[in-house]
Structure 1
Amino acid sequence: MKMNSSNLFFLGFMIIGVMLCLCSNNWLFIWCGLELSLISFLPLLHSKLIISSESSMKYFLVQSVSSSILILGLMMMLTNKYYFDSFIMLSILIKMGVAPFHTWLLSVVEGLKMMPMILMFTLSKISPIMMMTFIQVSISLIISLTLILGAISGINQVSIRKMITYSSIFNMGLILISISNNFIWCYYLFFYSILFVIVMILFYSTNTFYINQMIINENLLSTKMTLWMSLLSLGGMPPFLGFSIKLIVIEFSIIHSLFLNLILIIVFSLLVMFFYLRLTYLSLMFFSVSTKWILVKMNKFSLIFLMFNMLALPILLTMKMFY
């Protein structure tokens, strides 16, 4: 997606819609912010891919149904009906694409370019998560389903876009666990967004969208190593940055005695790490005609990404000691 004046205009209004949601003190203005973000995001989905129009239509229909359910819940709230919070929560869960309302995401991501995919998994998640902090409804079953389906369903995928989508669903389950603590979910979403942007830049810059392309792509070994490190960080492998965001959720689960969630996090994080390792194993360990001594020829972006992943966690832990 070329960042021309039109795309910058729509991107600016999408950010304004998110800010309107964050700064509003009533549900009607929050709904207006959601609709502004939706109508601004739809033109950004357009690309030269044939499937992009189908993805745009599916995204619009799902978000419209979700907004309709939200309006129904708000009307029930005004008329003092029971279970209005369940309708609002249902609307938010559909907007976020968590299990079992995640199937629309898989067909939408196949027609997205890099920038719309980054926006859909980072910026557009802020408003629904913020809305969820206002609703006091138990979603322990939804959290368990999200963690289980997000990890298991990603194993048999050959599309890297779908694999990243299932990983995002799994990470949304971790955010939902800590939804009662604003600092933790903001911290998690911020650093997860940074890692997600790095991984997306690497995949789209190397034009790699399926597992078998990891074998035949003859990129620099430094690029493959950078991708490997970034995926390990996204999966939560110590000592990379991604481990810190999982560690803080694990500490939150221990403090609040959420032992079932703790077991699910530990067990299914291993599955997420498995399909990330399988992805990079195909790239690094199979036969390649490129020479290995060119590892020393690190380009600037590879060096920045590697240093960020390796050094950010020790710096954060040191700051925590002083705090």
Structure 2
Amino acid sequence: MKMNSSKMFFLNFMIVGVMLCLCSNNWLFIWCGLELSLISFLPLMSSKLIVSSESSMKYFLIQSVSSSMLILGLMMMLTMKMNYDLIILTSILIKMGVAPFHFWLLSIVEGLSMLPMILMFTLSKIAPLMMLTFIVFSFSLIISLTLITGAILGLNQSSIRKIITYSSIFNMGLILMSIKNNFIWCYYLIFYSILLSILIYTLFSLNMFYVNQMIINEKLVSIKMAIWLTLLSMGGMPPFLGFSIKLIVIEFSINNMLSINLIVMIISSLLVMFFYLRMTYLSIMFFSVSNKWMMLNLNNLSMTLLTFNLLTLPLVLTFKLFS
């Protein structure tokens, strides 16, 4: 995606909107920050794709509905003193796109280019997650439903965009499990955002948008090593980075007696690992016109990702030992 001055302007204002949400001390300013980031994100969604305008309109309508519900809940909080928690919680969950409010994500993601897709799954999640930390509400049912939805519905997808979307829904469930500990969910979101950005950037660079293209694409075999490592890390294969952040959530769940959510998470993690392994298997094991020993000719990007994925887990465990 070509970054001109206009898109840099809107990207900076989107970051300002998120920072306004993080630095505000009342709900009204948080709502203003959400609206600023929404208005700034819409011009970034424009691209040469045919369904780009349709995705922008759907995103605007969904976010407008959730913002209207949020301001309604805030008015009820200030005036009628009614049970406003459920309305505010529903509006935040719609903004995040977690189950059962995830259907709008699937119709929007097919019309996104690289940068809007990264921003929607990473930067735009920060403000709603921060708002959830202020709500005293049990998320157990929502967490289980989100984990199951992201794991099961991603199994029969052939579009890599939709696989990444369901994976993002699943990982939102993991973040919601640790939402009561600010350090853990921030840590998880940061490293998950790094992994997701690397994966989306690599796939868009190679024009891989469907699973069967993992077999056909033979341009850069060394880059495929980077894709394999990132896919395994996204699935949570030890000893990669993706496993280390899941390990922290598992430990937090054990300490806080979240037994049901932990069981659902472990079972659904196996399903997520399955569809990431399927993509890796298609890329490695099927017929390839290039020699297999050519895969050992790693370039700088592959070596960097290999080191990043392998060394992070020992570093995390080392820090935990001395903390």
TM-score tier, shorter chain, comes to over 0.9
Aligned to 1:117: 117
Aligned to 2:249: 249
Deviations 1:270-305 (A, max 9, x none): 000000000111111100101223223322222211
Q: Does 1:222 align with 2:227?
A: no
Aligned to 1:236: 236
Letter in 2 for 1:72: L
- Relative to the length of structure 2, the TM-score reads 0.98
How much does 1:174 deviate? 0.5
Aligned to 2:141: 141
8 Å Cα contact 2:144-2:265 kept in structure 1: no
Aligned to 2:128: 128
Give me the whole-angstrom Cα distance separating, in 1, the residues matched to 2:240 and 2:80: 49
Consecutive unaligned residues in structure 2, runs of 5 or more? none
Aligned to 1:313: 313
8 Å Cα contact 1:154-1:163 kept in structure 2: yes
Give me the whole-angstrom Cα distance separating, in 1, the residues matched to 2:233 and 2:198: 10
Give the SS at the match of 1:211.
coil
- The percentage of aligned residue pairs carrying the same residue is 74
How much does 1:141 deviate? 1.1
Letter in 1 for 2:182: N
Deviations 1:190-218 (A, max 9, x none): 11001101111111111100011111111
Deviations 1:149-206 (A, max 9, x none): 1000000000000001000000000101111110110011011001101111111111
Give me the whole-angstrom Cα distance separating, in 2, the residues matched to 1:10 and 1:205: 23
Aligned to 1:13: 13
8 Å Cα contact 1:222-1:296 kept in structure 2: yes
Give me the whole-angstrom Cα distance separating, in 1, the residues matched to 2:153 and 2:179: 24
Query: Larger deviation: 80-89 or 208-217?
Result: 80-89
Give me the whole-angstrom Cα distance separating, in 1, the residues matched to 2:123 and 2:151: 23
Deviations 1:224-248 (A, max 9, x none): 2221111111111110011111011
Give me the whole-angstrom Cα distance separating, in 2, the residues matched to 1:140 and 1:97: 17
8 Å Cα contact 1:222-1:297 kept in structure 2: yes
Give me the whole-angstrom Cα distance separating, in 2, the residues matched to 1:146 and 1:116: 23
Aligned to 1:173: 173
Give the SS at the match of 2:281.
helix
Aligned to 2:96: 96
Aligned to 1:280: 280
How much does 1:221 deviate? 2.9
Letter in 1 for 2:275: F
Give the SS at the match of 1:82.
coil
Give me the whole-angstrom Cα distance separating, in 1, the residues matched to 2:82 and 2:237: 44
Give me the whole-angstrom Cα distance separating, in 2, the residues matched to 1:311 and 1:251: 20
Q: Does 1:3 align with 2:12?
A: no
Q: Does 1:52 align with 2:37?
A: no
Give me the whole-angstrom Cα distance separating, in 1, the residues matched to 2:317 and 2:184: 15
Give me the whole-angstrom Cα distance separating, in 2, the residues matched to 1:220 and 1:48: 26
8 Å Cα contact 1:221-1:292 kept in structure 2: no
Consecutive unaligned residues in structure 1, runs of 5 or more? none
Count of matched residue positions in the alignment of Structure 1 and Structure 2: 323
Give me the whole-angstrom Cα distance separating, in 1, the residues matched to 2:163 and 2:65: 26
Change (3 A) 1:219 1:314: farther
- Relative to the length of structure 1, the TM-score reads 0.98
